[in-house]
């Protein structure tokens, strides 16, 4: 008992200490301290480069040693403001004290309880906290897994069982994961599936209501984009997969890897109408857009559309591996026991962390902060767009909440693309992202277009957001001047 109490206190003290480390963190750490912790950093880095599978790409060849709040630290002494959140995962910042404390305490009670053996308390507590925030009261049956890809795999399995049909309609530009079934639904870049064919059969895609995909001007009305995209869906159901062969339509309410493009509510309502007419299920993938990222707990709330199945992951447990598939009990009762499962599915520590995430959202008024910071971010980007030094090199600013994208002009777009610009500098997005990192800001590109995405912590301070925006502004101006 004494050993257990000591370990628990030690975890709690470590977490409490982390909570006192407020910004600016880049002033506090030293290169020498980090070097001593790792021994020979050069040797460690070389070992990783030699033995980690080449199929994993990296933004920087370095070892991340610490994360706290909105900052990350590397072995070489760099301390960067993090506008990536581990690609939309650490939505409450790195090592949020409430979340880390809940995980540490759970570690001293029960780390693993395989879901096919029994329930465990953290699962029950998490469901209690999730039920009130679901975008529709019909979503009342939960299954927890480890990753977003696995959640999509489960959704496909469920849709096929529930309907007795096989085919799935997905969106051009979509990203649903890199496991075998999810990879077949991913249409954002060929790099995710290149060399792995044949993929899962029975998958058909339609254009997302995005001007790039439809070959129209960026100022095309939303109503026209919706009309064109729904027309393509009608053709697919008449020419490629008959409604009685179609199990589900799957959509990200905001394209992630496709360029951070929100779906117009009218399009989502149109999909719902088509699904209701033909007995097709609507799967809403909120893996990246969920958990407050766009200003509501789930982006689908903006449209009021009811999902039949919804997937979530990333921000669900703030860095602990956990995903969730939720549907209606009347549907999930059709599943045979044993058809769902996994050794680590719904891990107790991850579920405890996720329950603490939901508490933090409520207690810390996170959505209010998203609303305030989103306005400031968009204002800063609009000022940059209209700056004479940038000229016409920014062609679009889009997104919702703190899921925002900036698209640059490019001379490498196909000539048919409405924003192809032979005079624009090449590779603006990747060059700006690299320059931002040199200036202390970690930020990511996305899609096959020249797009940079902003994914800062949802509880980021006004000061840190301004610092990041200032760095981005400087980087864009410098790269544009270089041509």
Residue 7, pLDDT score: 41
Q: What is the pLDDT along the chain (483 residues), one digit of tens a residue?
A: 333 333 444 444 444 444 443 333 333 333 344 444 445 788 888 899 999 988 888 888 888 889 999 999 999 899 999 999 999 999 999 999 999 999 999 999 999 999 999 999 999 999 999 999 999 999 999 999 999 999 999 999 999 999 999 999 999 999 999 999 999 999 999 999 999 999 999 999 999 999 999 999 999 999 999 999 999 999 999 999 999 999 999 999 999 999 999 999 999 999 999 999 999 999 999 999 999 999 999 999 999 999 999 999 999 999 999 999 999 999 999 999 999 999 999 999 999 999 999 999 999 999 999 999 999 999 999 999 999 999 899 999 999 999 999 999 999 999 889 899 999 999 999 999 999 999 999 999 999 999 999 999 999 999 999 999 999 999 999 999 998
Can you tell me the distance from the alpha carbon of 329 to that of 398, in angstroms, rounded to the nearest whole number?
36
Residue 39, pLDDT score: 55
| Sheet with strand 444-446: strands edge to edge | 394-400, 403-408, 451-454, 444-446
Dig out the tokens for 136 from the structure. Answer: 């529709």
Residue whose token pair is 């053996």 = 117
The DSSP secondary-structure symbol of 287 reads: T
CB 292 within 8 A of CB 315: yes
Residue 4, pLDDT score: 38
136-172 burial, b at 16+ Cβ within 10 Å, e below that, comes to: bebbbbbbbbbbbbbbbbbbbebbbbbbebbbbbbbb
Residue 386, pLDDT score: 94
Residue whose token pair is 């447990």 = 317
Can you tell me the distance from the alpha carbon of 109 to that of 366, in angstroms, rounded to the nearest whole number?
29
Q: How far is the CA of 272 from the CAs of 83, 151, 155, 421, in angstroms?
A: 34, 21, 17, 38
Cβ contacts of 463 within 8 Å, gap of 6 or more = 23
User: Closest by alpha carbon to 467, among 386, 59, 96, 475?
Assistant: 475
Cβ contacts of 100 within 8 Å, gap of 6 or more = 15, 18, 353
Residue 41, pLDDT score: 80
User: Closest by alpha carbon to 285, among 163, 156, 453?
Assistant: 156
Residue 59, pLDDT score: 87
Cβ contacts of 447 within 8 Å, gap of 6 or more = 173, 188, 189, 255, 257, 258, 259, 260
Can you tell me the distance from the alpha carbon of 151 to that of 436, in angstroms, rounded to the nearest whole number?
33
| pLDDT tens digits, one per residue of 347-381 | 999 999 999 999 999 999 999 999 999 999 999 99
| pLDDT tens digits, one per residue of 258-312 | 999 999 999 999 999 999 999 999 999 999 999 999 999 999 999 999 999 999 9
What is the model's pTM? 0.91
Instruction: Tell me the HSE value of 230 on the side-chain side, using a 13 A CA sphere.
Output: 19
The total of other beta-carbon atoms located within 10 Å of residue 330's CB is: 11
Domains of the chain: 2-95+366-482 (3.90.1150.10), 100-363 (3.40.640.10)
Can you tell me the distance from the alpha carbon of 288 to that of 177, in angstroms, rounded to the nearest whole number?
11
């Amino acid at each position: 008992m004494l050993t257990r109490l000591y370990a628990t206190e030690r975890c709690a003290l470590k977490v409490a200490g982390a909570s006192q480390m407020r910004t600016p963190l880049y002033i506090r750490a030293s290169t020498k301290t980090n070097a001593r912790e790792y021994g020979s950093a050069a040797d460690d880095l070389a070992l990783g480069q030699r033995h980690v599978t080449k199929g994993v790409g990296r933004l920087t060849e370095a070892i991340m040693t610490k994360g706290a709040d909105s900052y990350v630290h590397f072995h070489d002494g760099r301390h960067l403001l993090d506008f990536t959140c581990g690609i939309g995962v650490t939505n409450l910042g790195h090592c949020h004290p409430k979340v880390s404390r809940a995980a540490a305490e759970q570690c001293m009670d029960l780390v693993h309880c395989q879901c096919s053996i029994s329930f465990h308390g953290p699962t029950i507590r998490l469901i209690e906290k999730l039920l009130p925030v679901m975008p529709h009261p019909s979503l009342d049956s939960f299954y927890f897994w480890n990753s977003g890809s696995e959640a999509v795999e489960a959704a496909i399995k469920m849709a096929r069982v529930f309907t007795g049909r096989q085919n799935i309609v997905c969106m051009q530009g979509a990203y649903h994961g890199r496991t075998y079934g999810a990879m077949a639904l991913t249409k954002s870049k060929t790099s995710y599936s290149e060399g792995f064919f044949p993929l899962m059969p029975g998958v058909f895609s339609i254009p997302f209501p995005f001007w790039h995909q439809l070959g129209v001007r960026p100022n095309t009305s939303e109503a026209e984009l919706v009309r064109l995209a729904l027309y393509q869906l009608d053709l697919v159901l008449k020419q490629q997969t008959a409604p009685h062969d179609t199990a589900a339509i799957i959509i990200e309410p905001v394209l992630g890897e496709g360029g951070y493009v929100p779906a117009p509510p009218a399009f989502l309502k149109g999909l719902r109408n088509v699904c209701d007419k033909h007995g097709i299920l609507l799967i809403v993938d909120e893996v990246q857009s969920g958990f407050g990222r766009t200003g509501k707990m789930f982006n689908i709330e903006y449209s009021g559309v009811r999902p039949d199945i919804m997937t979530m992951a990333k921000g669900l447990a703030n860095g602990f591996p956990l995903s969730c598939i939720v549907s209606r009990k009347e549907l999930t009762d059709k599943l045979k026991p044993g058809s769902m499962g996994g050794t680590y599915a719904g891990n107790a520590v991850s579920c405890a962390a996720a329950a603490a995430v939901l508490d933090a959202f409520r207690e810390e008024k996170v959505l209010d902060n998203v609303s305030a910071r989103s306005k400031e971010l968009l204002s800063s980007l609009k000022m940059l767009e209209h700056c004479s030094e940038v000229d016409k090199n920014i062609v679009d600013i889009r997104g919702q909440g703190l899921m925002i994208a900036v698209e640059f002009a490019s001379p490498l777009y196909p000539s048919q693309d409405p924003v192809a610009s032979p005079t624009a500098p090449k590779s603006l997005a990747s060059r700006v992202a690299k320059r931002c990192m040199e200036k202390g800001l970690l930020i990511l590109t996305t899609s096959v277009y020249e797009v940079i995405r902003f994914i800062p912590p949802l509880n980021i301070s006004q000061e840190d957001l301004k610092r990041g925006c200032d760095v981005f502004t400087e980087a864009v101006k410098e790269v544009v001047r270089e041509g």
